[in-house]
Structure 1
């Protein structure tokens, strides 16, 4: 077992989904991956007591840290007051404005109760990133990397795989954290695809996906009943008799692009 990091004293708050990483091997893996990006700036989400922050700052690049917990922010200000390249933003990473500039190397042991909406922001709001190295519950990581025809495959799989190349760097048990969560976790590395859909296409894609996956065991025709004719689905390359879970990401993107042009009425204005 890897050694455990010595954490500064900070009380983990269940309501904020805090579980502080202690596994030195995982910490090194995350930091090395994040710093392997040539991005000129670092963005850390959910730094907590600053275990990752401390190691990231040794690189010398400017680092912006975002945390919602006032107690954690007070500790971070105290720890890194003398570090010129450290910048702290106190607020909710789900909705607060991120700093302008970039591109970023984004890193974070994301709070479990906010990981998915934070990732959705990073994938759909035009925040420029060169690499992301993020911790998720194992179940979420499996969804991100889910393959067509499997239970894990869904809207999050399609969006993430069209936008990025995904690599699972490490899987962690509960003992790697303080306090120990009841679930396993995994770190996923994201690298942007040059052929990724535009921001407008990503938002339209989510509209199509959420409607198509509304009832997983139903066909596309049943999920879209009353709002889009079977002929329109067919013209977009989506056979109405299929279930959403068997359709590959490239086909979803091609179909969404077709619907944007031929059937814009299905998208909210």
Structure 2
């Protein structure tokens, strides 16, 4: 009797947000795009049963796989533990320490319930990457690629677009996964821009964006009332009578560079 497939051998757990990819076209697209990077090592987040892992390892580059699920880690260790360039890290990708070194090509069918904090970490903690190929709920992917003046545009749009060039590689329906989720998904390619914001600027930017978008229908002046006066916003090039959702990423970056210098007390943890 043939051995069951890796997906059949791993019980998906709702608590971990697991939906295992079974669409062959999507698997090939993700792996091909990730391996198109010149990075010397690979980082896979949420490998689950190892459908992507198996093909990534065939490339020969060192691969670090991070998964929170002990059962998945046992299966991965059984399948790939004898591979000298396979390294397994069990833990939460939101906070688990990662090996230092050269840039990664990052690959992930991210768990739906942790995709946003994982991405925020990859963009704000100085983890070196040459390319990222990541799966999100379609709604999250649309937010990442949102443009000013639209409902999708928000803090995640600004941060991601200032750090990377984003390309949606493929859209997937629920039938591409086991078990089938209730939403569509999308794979997004991240390629670093030439002059991204510094880490201090990114961290301060997130703080400013979350405050500015706290009440989307309110103006910047109203959202910042009691912390930054309208004059400070004007000095940073932000019209206090506007809503955050109409301001372009480049204007946010220009503003944060002024605010970090003029009002460092607002960002004590982000100051150089």
- TM-score range relative to shorter protein: over 0.9
**1:96-153 deviations in Å (ceiling 9; x for gaps):** 1011112100001000000000001100000000000000000000000000000000
With structure 1 as the length reference, what TM-score do the two structures score? 0.97
Distance of 1:195 and 1:155 partners within structure 2: 19
1:25-174 paired onto structure 2 within 5 Å? 25-174=25-174
CA RMSD, 1 decimal: 1.0
Distance of 1:8 and 1:190 partners within structure 2: 31
Distance of 2:9 and 2:56 partners within structure 1: 20
In structure 2, runs of 5+ residues without a counterpart are none
CA displacement at 1:82 relative to structure 2: 2.1
**1:52-84 deviations in Å (ceiling 9; x for gaps):** 000001100000000010000000011112211
1:9-20 paired onto structure 2 within 5 Å? 9-20=9-20
**Count of residue pairs brought into register by the alignment:** 265
With structure 2 as the length reference, what TM-score do the two structures score? 0.96
Equivalence for 1:264:
264
Distance of 1:16 and 1:267 partners within structure 2: 33
Q: The residue matched to 1:171 in structure 2 has which SS? A: strand
**1:197-254 deviations in Å (ceiling 9; x for gaps):** 0000000111111110010000000000111111111111000100000000000000
Distance of 1:257 and 1:236 partners within structure 2: 8
8 Å Cα contact 1:6/1:22 also seen in 2: no
Q: The residue matched to 1:187 in structure 2 has which SS? A: strand
